Amino acid sequence: MPETSSRDTIFAAGLLLPVSSPAIREGAVLVRDGHIAAIGGLSELAHENAEVEIRYFPRCAIIPGAVNAHAHLGFRRGDGPEGGSFARWLGNLIKRLPEKETWTAEAARNCAREAIEAGTTFMAESSPYGECLPQLAESGMAGIVYAEFFPHEIGDGTPEEAVEFILEKAHSLREGLPERVESHISVHSPYTVDPESARLAARRTREVGDRLAIHLSESPEEVEFVRDGTGPLTNIFANNDWGGVGLSPVRYAESIELLAPQTIAAHLATGVSEEDVEVLAHSGVAVAHCPRSNEFLGCGVSPVPRMMECGIRVGMGTDGLWSSPSLNLFEETLFAVKLHGLSGAAGLRLATLGGAQALGIEGAAGSIEAGKWADLAIVESPPEGGDSEREVLEAAAAGGVLATVVSGNLIYNRAEG
């Protein structure tokens, strides 16, 4: 009989969907020291581990926790700028930045809670200078905060000074963080960060083995700014005079060395040609797909099925509450499933293992597999019918998450409030 400890737990339910292996009826997950020690049938695992406490969830499915590959925590629900036009929305958002400071922390706490109650176990968050890191770190989720920087705000505005400042900031934020929370940097976008600062940031992160996040090819206005140097983004934040390079945003990002395997690029919604998809695939960059934000801001539809065919790593992202109706990653994914005509299984994979692969953490999270962290979402879902993955995704999208487990800890259990 295997050695057990008081910290062992068996989580079990009518259906276990590990994502990386076939479904198991009356399935169970043996958790030891925060990690998955074994998966299998409940009767078998219970028999082999007779001393271990069993938490059985009847009429439920256990799935991997959602991996949100692109989110912003610092926006509150209900009073965001109106959508329809990306540039107008962003202009209104920027006008409200001073006011936002008074409630960002509260919004971040609420958003993190909302994500957890929707089964999210890992979140990649981007916020100015990493301002939402404390709320992510205390939430119980695992994750990465990408500290955005805006070079014109820093010192005398030289690329070297701006990049060293933000790298030091991201590194200093690492002190005292929980084991599975990291801080890295984000080159916010082609229209807010000048090309030399962006290039230098990409090089420096590679030198020190850090990760990088960017927004890329999100809106028609961004395409116009990069290609022609005209349109409303030329003076959105500071005086941006580096546009007009005659390239697509993807080609531009390639030219300034932003595209690489440790980079995750959010959106890729507008102006992504077949040639751009090839550039993305060749570079090894990963993509975060945020279809509800894209629709709200008039940014078109990302060619995600084509990207996936080309072997590009794609995860799902909710973006933030000012461009998206919720932090429920399963709801975001169901939207993508309908938008692109994907199968339920493809959707469940995108929401979990796909996000983990996009973020380069698939060795430790994203599926229910021995050796990985025990990150689970437990979803109320009758284990009947034909397409289990689709049914579970629909249930999770509609508020059916009953419990959320991160590193083996039950951080949310609706039954216990």
Identify the CA nearest to 218 among candidates 281, 159, 288.
288
CB of 213 to Zn ion, least distance (A): 9
CB of 319 to Zn ion, least distance (A): 5
CB of 290 to Zn ion, least distance (A): 7
In the bound state with Zn ion, the residue whose beta carbon lies nearer, of 30 and 253, is 253
CB of 72 to Zn ion, least distance (A): 6
Burial class (CB in 10 A: 0-12, 13-18, 19+), 79: exposed
Which pair of structure tokens corresponds to residue 14? 């009518």
What number of chain residues touch Zn ion (CB under 5 A)? 1
- DSSP of 149-184, one letter per residue? E-GGGSTT--HHHHHHHHHHHHHHTTTT--TTEEEE
In the bound state with Zn ion, the residue whose beta carbon lies nearer, of 12 and 299, is 299
* Contact window for Zn ion (CB under 5 A) among 92-100, 182-190, 312-320, 362-370: 312-320
In the bound state with Zn ion, the residue whose beta carbon lies nearer, of 146 and 330, is 146
* Contact window for Zn ion (CB under 5 A) among 148-156, 300-308, 313-321, 401-409: 313-321
Region class of 63: left (phi > 0), else alpha (psi between -120 and 50), else beta: beta
CB of 293 to Zn ion, least distance (A): 7
Q: What's the one-letter identity of residue 33? A: D
CB of 189 to Zn ion, least distance (A): 9
Which pair of structure tokens corresponds to residue 381? 């879902």
CB of 124 to Zn ion, least distance (A): 10
296 neighbors 330 (Cβ within 8 angstroms): no
Identify the CA nearest to 124 among candidates 294, 345, 366, 299.
366
In the bound state with Zn ion, the residue whose beta carbon lies nearer, of 14 and 354, is 354
Residue 380: φ, ψ to 5°: -70, 115
Taking each helix axis from N to C end, the angle separating 329-340 and 388-397, rounded to the nearest 10 degrees, works out to 130
x-marked contacts with Zn ion along 314-353 as a string, rule CB under 5 A: -----x----------------------------------
CB of 129 to Zn ion, least distance (A): 15
Round to whole Å and give the CA distance between 53 and 156: 60
Give 116's contacts (C-beta < 8 A, 6+ positions apart): 139, 140, 141, 404, 411, 412
CB of 162 to Zn ion, least distance (A): 20
In the bound state with Zn ion, the residue whose beta carbon lies nearer, of 83 and 229, is 83
In the bound state with Zn ion, the residue whose beta carbon lies nearer, of 319 and 331, is 319
Let me know how long the chain is: 417
In the bound state with Zn ion, the residue whose beta carbon lies nearer, of 215 and 251, is 215
Round to whole Å and give the CA distance between 231 and 189: 16
Residue showing tokens 């084991």: 179
* Contact window for Zn ion (CB under 5 A) among 92-100, 202-210, 311-319, 398-406: 311-319
In the bound state with Zn ion, the residue whose beta carbon lies nearer, of 319 and 380, is 319
Cβ-closest position to Zn ion = 319
In the bound state with Zn ion, the residue whose beta carbon lies nearer, of 276 and 319, is 319
Distance of CA 76 to the CA centre of its chain: 18
Residues that bind Zn ion (CB under 5 A): 319
